[in-house]
């Protein structure tokens, strides 16, 4: 009886002091790191960066400011969620130059759909579109939730 009790106390003490510690650590260090939230992983900007504001009042007004820009080949457009989000940038596949889709697929991170960037929900969230290797020409895009409000943009690469 006394021996059994002693054994129990010793075993408990070993656990409390970190018995099997090696096994526990091994399990913990093998856990995968948490994935970053969608839409927050920054793309690597290329070339000069041109900022475009995404604005709106949350109901009847939404737009890109400016809604027409000209950039140099290989430049980056940085979309900034200013107000009235969520906003995103989506390009019409038939409103970009031949070869443009492949370049944009490489230059747009965390896309939700073909040529469609993630929603920016928090104020000052940004999203970079790299036009690295994008052919010269006109690229027309829109904000998916606000297309009915006419939230469109024209980007000329020249
Ligand atoms: Cu929008």
Alpha carbons 115 and 105: distance in angstroms, whole number: 6
Phi, psi values for residue 155, rounded to 5°: -115, 120
Query: Which pLDDT score, from 0 to 100, does residue 124 have?
Result: 96
The correct CATH number of 49-157 out of 2.60.40.420, 1.10.3720.10, 2.40.50.500, 2.130.10.10 is 2.60.40.420
- For CATH 2.60.40.420, the residue range(s) in the chain are 49-157
Q: What is the mean pLDDT of residues 64-82?
A: 98
pLDDT: which is higher, 117 or 27: 117
Question: pLDDT band at residue 66, thresholds of 50, 70 and 90?
Answer: very high
Tell me: the pLDDT tens digits for 25-60?
444 444 544 444 444 445 678 999 999 999 999 999
State how far the Cα of 144 lies from the Cα of 117, in Å rounded to an integer: 9
Please indicate, yes or no, whether the overall pTM of this predicted structure exceeds 0.75.
no
Q: Compute the mean pLDDT over every residue in the chain, rounded to the nearest whole number.
A: 83
Q: Given this model, what pLDDT does residue 42 score? A: 54
SS3 58: coil
Percent of the chain with pLDDT over 70: 73
Residue 155 CB neighbour total at 10 angstroms? 25
11 CA → ligand 1 middle, Å? 62
Average pLDDT over every residue of 78-105: 97
Characterise 84 by phi-psi region: left (phi > 0), alpha (psi -120 to 50), beta (else): left
User: Which DSSP symbol is given to 14?
Assistant: H
Q: What pLDDT, on the 0 to 100 scale, is given for residue 45?
A: 85
Q: Which residue has the higher pLDDT, 111 or 33?
A: 111
Q: Kindly give the distance from the C-alpha atom of residue 75 to the centroid of ligand 1, in angstroms, as a whole number.
A: 23
pLDDT value, residue 44: 73
C-alpha 144 to ligand 1 mean position (Å): 7
Measured in Å, residue 12 CA sits from the centre of ligand 1 at 60
């Amino acid at each position: 009886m006394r021996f059994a009790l002693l054994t129990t106390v010793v075993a408990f003490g070993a656990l409390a002091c970190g018995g099997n510690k090696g096994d526990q650590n091994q399990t913990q260090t093998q856990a995968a790191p948490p994935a970053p939230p969608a839409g927050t992983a920054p793309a690597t900007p290329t070339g000069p960066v041109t900022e475009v504001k995404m604005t709106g009042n949350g109901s009847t007004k939404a737009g890109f400011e400016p809604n027409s820009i000209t950039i140099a080949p290989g430049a980056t457009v940085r979309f900034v969620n200013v107000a009235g989000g969520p906003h995103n940038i989506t390009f019409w596949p038939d409103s970009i130059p031949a070869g443009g889709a492949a370049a944009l697929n490489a230059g747009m991170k965390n896309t939700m759909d073909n040529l469609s960037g993630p929603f920016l929900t928090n104020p000052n969230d940004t999203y970079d579109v790299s036009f690295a290797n994008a052919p010269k020409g006109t690229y027309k895009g829109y904000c998916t939730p606000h297309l009915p409000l006419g939230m469109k943009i024209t980007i000329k690469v020249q």
